A and B are shown apart, each in its own frame.
Chain A
Amino acid sequence: MKQENGNIIELSHLTKRFGETKALDDFSLSVREGELFGLLGPNGAGKTTAIFAMLGLYPIDEGEMRLFGRRMPEDAAYIKARVGIVPQQISVYEDLTVRENIAFFGQLYGLSKEEARHQADAALAFVQLSEQEKKFPRQLSGGMMRRLNIACGIVHRPKLIFMDEPTVAIDPQSRNTILENIRQLNRDGATIIYTSHYMEEVELLCHRVAIMDTGRVIAEGTPDELKELVTTVESLRIHAPRIGQATIGQIGALSFVQNVRVEGEEICADIQKGASVMPVLELLQEDHVAFTTVSLERPTLNSVFLTLTGKALRE
């Protein structure tokens, strides 16, 4: 069940205080059913608080939360039964086997013993841990643990899944497997709220992204929309060791070039987004300046984030 406007999550003007600190400050967010939605922000931005509030773990001080068209916390039981969580920390029982962990969390969401067994089979196959089903978590590799963490969160086939940095501290191969799992879950109809410090993951995976800072959403849209929002220039870099000051001056005088500087043996120029680099290269040829490589750096979510928050994501 979703709201009439198609939103599976509707948060309006949430405020959550911890003493004098506002962890959420007039926080509003809408997520449509079927979306793979990225939530980005530096440490302390309020991402986890927002997720915990949606899960009914934190009482909020002001505002309104609707999930599946129902109000949290009034309809907490209804909402919780349809939500899955994949926490950042590995959240499984050390003294239960892989299968027992998955089946237990399934039964916690109301599955019968038989249903839990059946769904655990499916979840094990999905995260490719069928051969490890009798092992204890301590016997698994880091990547396998992450996959078990995911299996425990999806065994009851939730409609909405919160994933808090599910790929942190694992090898690239395991990461690729997990990212493919997430895409598949989304293709199967689950709405996913995804937080990560890895911008490239968010850029690759998410349909829409919200950037949070100091408890607020400061920008929201598709990755391309966000890039449009903040970027007016692209960075041109040319490896030209013997370029002279005169040529640099001529490049700087071009109408679409905003700034030119020399960094070691490279010349770096900020040029207007979409402008052609050919006039710059023609100038170099005319002045007989030898150059080896030319690169044009397009904006990334990272640069968007940096521009919007003034902070690197790991701060």
Chain B
Amino acid sequence: MRTFWVCVKSDFRQQIRQRQTLFWMMIFPLVLIIGLGTMLSAVFSSEVDLPEVDVAYIASGDIRFDQPLEQFLADDRIASFLSVRPYGSERLARAAIDAQKADVILFGGEEIRLLHERSTSIEVQVLKVLLDRYVQAANTQLLLLERNLPQAGPVDLIDRKSFDLTSKTPSSIEYFTVTISAMTALFGGMYVTAMFAADQAMRGSYLRVQAAPISLVRYRLAGTISRFSVVLLQLVVIFTVSHFIYRSFDLGRIRLDLLLLALAGLALYGISFGFLMSSLPFRNPNIAGFIVNGMTTVLLLLSGGYVPGLDRFVLSRFPFAHDLLMPLFMREGVLQILFDGDLTIYRDSMLLLTLHVAVFALLSAILFRWKGGFRHVPVKTRPHAHGA
């Protein structure tokens, strides 16, 4: 075990000393977040007409509950991305949904409910979170009132720290933050895979490792842990920087365990994808590298990673792309953690991710076997053939 940690430590030390690694794993994503992110947020907030969420609102008829909610929804910052239209009944509201005049149905009253077919848009997610907070704040006030305790003063139902909507729309920044994480995880995975490919049998320092009394599985595992650490460190930095720059989500509300699980899953996806590509029958490793980079670019392009909004076009034409393009389904899943949202969507995303990883692993194994990669594993000797 001591040797194992020696390998982890040594490998990690080497990774963080490489300028190229530092650039691609740390500086490049941060530059993207700060530079491109700021640029995009400006574009989104000033020039682009974002699709509004059309809310079919059904009042309960009880003024005690309806009035505060309607006041809340009339706030300029909310109204900038919500179009609230009152409907007299649920039947009429459903008809509006069917006629595509509304995206969601909001029921007022003592218990606020939001009905929607599928929460694919970030705006709906933001609305859900805002309503959750509204309900929490209202419940707190009611509780204080019931117990005859003094009110805590005016409650800002919109958490300014987390949802400062004055200079940004709610869609672009969260969208960008999560997409950049998916991108870096994918790039991180590529990077890890490339490092493994660099360990060529019988060559260089790896030859010494092969000749040493250490299990190669352990050595590989140590390298994996070391490089996963670099990838995770990178993602933690990205999320933290995103938070402090954009204030786009509240760190206190994030389920850190689930976030780390998602990040680990993303890194694993990148590694398995890289292994699959490196198992393809190309003699020239440069061709495999070219395909990996090309596939990554296409994947991110179609998912709107480079051109925000392209994902909506892709999904409108090819709805099945939602289950095929990792950045799309993972963005939805991770957003739920950032917004303290629906964990079912997170679980669905992770399930899809697991499925993808399993398929990649299976295909890699088949290709590896087909290429004869397992043939060199058994050691053959004939100790008695010469009367030894």
Could you list which residues of chain B lie within 8 angstroms of chain A, going by C-beta atoms?
A: 2-3, 6-7, 10, 13-14, 17-18, 201-205, 207-214, 376, 378-383, 385-386, 388
Residues of A within 8 A of B208 (CB): 85, 87, 91, 105, 108, 152-153
Given known contacts A89-B204, A108-B6, A63 and B382 CB-to-CB distance under 8 angstroms: yes
Is A107 an interface residue when CB atoms closer than 8 A count as contact? yes
Q: Give the distance to chain A from B23, nearest Cβ to Cβ, in Å.
A: 15
Q: Give the distance to chain B from A108, nearest Cβ to Cβ, in Å.
A: 5
CB distance A89 to B203 under 8 Å? yes
Complex CA gap A52/B378 in Å reads 16
Is A279 an interface residue when CB atoms closer than 8 A count as contact? no
**Which of B13, B214, B376 makes the CB contact (< 8 A) with A96?**
B13
Is A12 an interface residue when CB atoms closer than 8 A count as contact? yes
Residues of B within 8 A of A57 (CB): 201-202, 207, 210-211
**Which of B6, B382, B386 makes the CB contact (< 8 A) with A104?**
B6
Q: Which of A55, A60, A93, A112 has the most B CB atoms < 10 Å from its CB?
A: A93
Top 8 A-B pairs ranked by shortest CB distance? Answer: A95-B14, A80-B213, A59-B379, A95-B17, A107-B6, A64-B388, A81-B213, A108-B212
Residues of B within 8 A of A100 (CB): 10, 13
Q: Give the distance to chain B from A185, nearest Cβ to Cβ, in Å.
A: 17
Q: Which residue of B lies closest to A72 (CB)?
A: B381
CB distance B13 to A83 under 8 Å? no
Complex CA gap A112/B10 in Å reads 14
CB distance B2 to A112 under 8 Å? yes
Complex CA gap A100/B379 in Å reads 33
Residues of B within 8 A of A223 (CB): none
Q: Give the distance to chain A from B10, nearest Cβ to Cβ, in Å.
A: 5
Is A32 an interface residue when CB atoms closer than 8 A count as contact? no
Is A291 an interface residue when CB atoms closer than 8 A count as contact? no
Is A13 an interface residue when CB atoms closer than 8 A count as contact? yes
Given known contacts A93-B14, A100-B10, A62 and B385 CB-to-CB distance under 8 angstroms: yes
Is A70 an interface residue when CB atoms closer than 8 A count as contact? no
Q: Which residue of A lies closest to B377 (CB)?
A: A59
Residues of A within 8 A of B379 (CB): 59, 73
Q: Give the distance to chain B from A97, nearest Cβ to Cβ, in Å.
A: 10
Q: Known contacts A55-B211, A74-B381, A91-B207; can you find 16 more A-B pairs with CB under 8 A?
A: A12-B386, A52-B202, A63-B382, A81-B213, A85-B207, A89-B204, A89-B207, A91-B205, A95-B14, A95-B18, A96-B10, A100-B13, A108-B214, A110-B213, A152-B208, A153-B208
Given known contacts A64-B381, A96-B10, A108 and B209 CB-to-CB distance under 8 angstroms: yes
Given known contacts A93-B205, A100-B10, A64 and B213 CB-to-CB distance under 8 angstroms: no
Residues of A within 8 A of B376 (CB): 59
Interface string of A64-77 (1 = CB under 8 A from B): 10000001011011
Is A109 an interface residue when CB atoms closer than 8 A count as contact? yes
Residues of A within 8 A of B378 (CB): 59
Q: Which residue of A lies closest to B9 (CB)?
A: A104
Complex CA gap A110/B214 in Å reads 9
Residues of B within 8 A of A152 (CB): 208
Complex CA gap A112/B5 in Å reads 12
24 residue pairs of the A-B complex, CB under 8 angstroms, read: A13-B385, A13-B386, A55-B210, A55-B211, A57-B210, A61-B380, A63-B382, A64-B381, A64-B388, A80-B211, A81-B213, A85-B208, A87-B207, A87-B208, A89-B203, A91-B204, A91-B205, A91-B207, A95-B17, A104-B6, A105-B212, A107-B3, A108-B3, A109-B213
Complex CA gap A87/B202 in Å reads 10
Residues of A within 8 A of B211 (CB): 55-57, 80, 83, 85
CB distance B6 to A73 under 8 Å? no
Residues of A within 8 A of B380 (CB): 59-61
Residues of A within 8 A of B13 (CB): 95-96, 100
Q: Which residue of B lies closest to A55 (CB)?
A: B211
Q: Which residue of B lies closest to A65 (CB)?
A: B381
CB distance A109 to B212 under 8 Å? yes
Residues of A within 8 A of B205 (CB): 91-93
Q: Give the distance to chain B from A44, nearest Cβ to Cβ, in Å.
A: 15
Q: Give the distance to chain A from B229, nearest Cβ to Cβ, in Å.
A: 16
Residues of B within 8 A of A153 (CB): 208
Complex CA gap A57/B202 in Å reads 8
Q: Give the distance to chain B from A46, nearest Cβ to Cβ, in Å.
A: 14
Complex CA gap A56/B17 in Å reads 32
CB distance B14 to A96 under 8 Å? yes
Residues of A within 8 A of B383 (CB): 64, 71
Residues of A within 8 A of B14 (CB): 93, 95-96
Given known contacts A59-B376, A91-B205, A93-B205, A80 and B10 CB-to-CB distance under 8 angstroms: no
Complex CA gap A55/B379 in Å reads 13
Q: Give the distance to chain A from B118, nearest Cβ to Cβ, in Å.
A: 48
Q: Which residue of A lies closest to B383 (CB)?
A: A64
Complex CA gap A106/B380 in Å reads 30
Instruction: Give the residues from 6 to 54 in chain A that come closer than 8 angstroms, CB to CB, to chain B.
Output: 12-13, 52
Complex CA gap A152/B211 in Å reads 12
Q: Give the distance to chain B from A150, nearest Cβ to Cβ, in Å.
A: 12
Complex CA gap A63/B385 in Å reads 7
Q: Give the distance to chain A from B269, nearest Cβ to Cβ, in Å.
A: 27
Residues of B within 8 A of A104 (CB): 6, 10
Residues of A within 8 A of B2 (CB): 107, 112
